[in-house]
Chain A
C-alpha cells in the first residue's frame, strides 16, 4: 500500500482554504414551461381548422341562363310580351313546331 500521506495533507489544507470560498445560493431554476402551452395552442388551431373545413359551403343560386319570352293576347286582342329569366324550362316547344301544322 502506497503512502499517500503527503497528498492527503495537501488536499486537507486545500479543503481548509476552500472553506472560505463563497458558494453561490442554489439557483431557483425556471424551467421553460413549453409542456402545456404549445400542445394547447396546436390543439386549439386544429379544432378551429377542423370547424372551418367542416362548415357547409353556402349553395350558390346559379345565374339564370334561360330567358323565356311569352306572347300573350288579352281580351281586347292586344298582344303582350312577358319576359322571364330562369335556370330551367318546364316545357319546351321547338321554335319551328308551328311550321309542321301550318305547312
Chain B
C-alpha cells in the first residue's frame, strides 16, 4: 500500500479517529491530538502496516488505542486490568447531559467495548480484535458495560428528578 492510499484511508477516517483518540484519552483534547499525530506517524513511517484494506478502521482504532495506552503510561496514570470488573459508584452528582462524565464511570474495558459498539457502530468481534481479546471476553465486557451504563443513566436521571 503506497503513501497516497494510506493518506486517503486516514483522511476518510480522520473524524472518527480523533473522536476515538479522545475517548481513549479520557476525553482530553490535547492528549488526543498528540496521540493521533503519533499514530499517523507510526503508520506513515511503516511501523504499522495494513494488510487487509477492508479492516482499515479496526486497524487504525487499534493503533490509536495502543498509542494512547503508551501515552497514559508515560504520564504514570495506569489502571490495572483487574480493576475493570470493580463496581463503579457515582460519588458526585453528574448532569444527565454530561455524557462523557457518565461514560467515564464505566470500567475501562467495558467503556471501550460499549463505545465501539454503540458510538462507532462496530461489531463485538471488531471490538475484540481492537482490544486483542477473545470474542467471549469482549461479549462479557459488552454485557456488563451495558448493564452498568443503564444503571448509571437511571441513577443520574433519579438524581436529577430528586434534585428538582
Contacts and interface: CB of A to CB of B under 8 A. Distances in A.
Interface in A38-66: none
Contact of A23 (B15, B37, B114, B119): B15
A103 interface: no
Contacts of B122: none
Contacts of B45: 31-32
B36 interface: yes
Interface in A8-54: 8, 10-11, 13-15, 17-18, 21, 23-24, 26-27, 29, 31-32
A21 B11 CA distance: 17
Interface stretch (B51-59, B65-73, B75-83, B146-154): B146-154
Contact of A27 (B37, B118, B119, B153): B37
B149 A7 contact: yes
Contacts of A26: 10-11, 14
B41 interface: yes
A76 interface: no
Interface of A: 2, 4, 6-8, 10-11, 13-15, 17-18, 21, 23-24, 26-27, 29, 31-32
